[in-house]
Every structure is written in structure tokens, then in C-alpha cells.
């Protein structure tokens, strides 16, 4: 991709700590301040938490942006937003968090860098990612996995509820 070409990127947002709705709204406002254009945004979804211990339900969503940033530069920006909103990374996977921002797809790039794997390595197994993704990109394909619609059909997706909230 040349510097002048914008890439279409899908980013997942999630929160289950410290007023998740406010976290999601602040995250979206911060994303809008990055060097990118917002192309689409899903509804908010309430999702049962997966992971260790008793956790509150998550709010999840997906946004589509167009950016000239390279993948690692965008990742750095998203991790800065997470830190600004109180995200503390721990060794324990799937723990509760104030904010989680994941690059799902960056065009059709496939990348296995120690810092960033594209497409996101578990997105094709997660209804809480696929449902909002399909809401804004109903014919999207995940490189190496296939059509998101077909992948969703193989996922357990009870516990993912669309919310009638503006964000």
C-alpha cells in the first residue's frame, strides 16, 4: 500500500469495566480524532463475558475506517487510546477491561507479526465480533477463513444481544 492510498480497516471495540457505555463513547470520539475517516459503525451489543472469574457483561461494537496509517502505526494509536481510558494489560487472557480495541481486518492483509496478527486470530470464532461486523459489512470475507456469514453460522451466539442505544 502506498502512502497516498487509504486502507479499509475494521476495528472491534469492547468494554466491561468503569461504565462501559461511557468507555465506548469516549473510544469512538478518540478514534475519530485519529488520521482516518469513519466509514461505518455497528450498533452496540451486550455480550456475556468469557474469561476468568465472575465478570460483568461486555459492550461490543465494530467500526470501519479508512486510513493511510500502516497497521502497526494504527495499533500504536489504538493502544494509546486504551491506556488513556485505564486499560492495564495483564498476563491473564480475557480478563475484564475498561477498553479493548482490536484491529480485525486491514484490507485483505495477512500478517503474523509478534505485535499484530491479521486477520485477528480468533475473530472467525466469535459471534460478538462477527454479528456487529456483518451489520456494517454483510458480504465481508475473512482471509484464510471464508465468508463471515458462513463462519457465524458455526458459532454459538446466544448471549449476544443488540441494544437500542445511541453511542
Cell representation of residue 151: 463462519
Q: How many residues does the chain have?
A: 167
Closest CA to 12 of 73, 68, 60: 60
Phi, psi of 58 (to 5 degrees): -95, 155
Within 8 A by CB and 6+ apart from 85, the residues are 23, 26, 27, 30, 98, 99
Residues with catalytic function = 87, 97, 100, 102
How far from the centroid of its chain's Cα atoms is residue 102's Cα? 4
- Other beta carbons within 10 angstroms of residue 165's beta carbon come to 12
Within 8 A by CB and 6+ apart from 71, the residues are 103, 106, 109, 111, 116, 118
Amino acid at each position: 500500500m502506498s502512502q497516498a492510498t487509504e486502507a479499509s480497516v475494521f476495528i472491534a471495540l469492547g468494554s466491561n469495566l468503569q461504565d462501559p457505555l461511557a468507555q465506548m463513547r469516549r473510544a469512538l470520539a478518540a478514534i475519530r480524532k485519529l488520521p482516518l475517516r469513519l466509514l461505518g459503525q455497528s450498533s452496540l451489543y451486550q455480550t456475556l463475558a468469557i474469561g476468568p472469574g465472575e465478570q460483568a457483561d461486555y459492550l461490543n461494537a465494530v467500526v470501519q475506517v479508512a486510513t493511510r496509517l500502516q497497521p502497526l502505526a494504527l495499533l500504536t494509536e489504538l493502544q494509546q487510546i486504551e491506556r488513556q481510558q485505564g486499560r492495564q494489560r495483564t498476563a491473564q487472557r480475557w480478563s475484564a477491561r475498561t477498553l479493548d480495541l482490536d484491529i480485525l481486518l486491514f484490507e485483505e492483509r495477512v500478517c503474523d507479526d509478534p505485535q499484530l496478527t491479521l486477520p485477528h486470530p480468533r475473530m472467525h470464532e466469535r459471534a460478538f465480533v462477527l454479528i456487529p461486523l456483518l451489520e456494517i459489512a454483510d458480504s465481508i470475507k475473512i482471509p484464510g477463513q471464508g465468508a463471515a456469514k458462513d463462519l457465524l453460522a458455526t458459532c454459538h451466539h446466544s448471549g449476544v444481544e443488540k441494544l437500542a442505544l445511541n453511542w
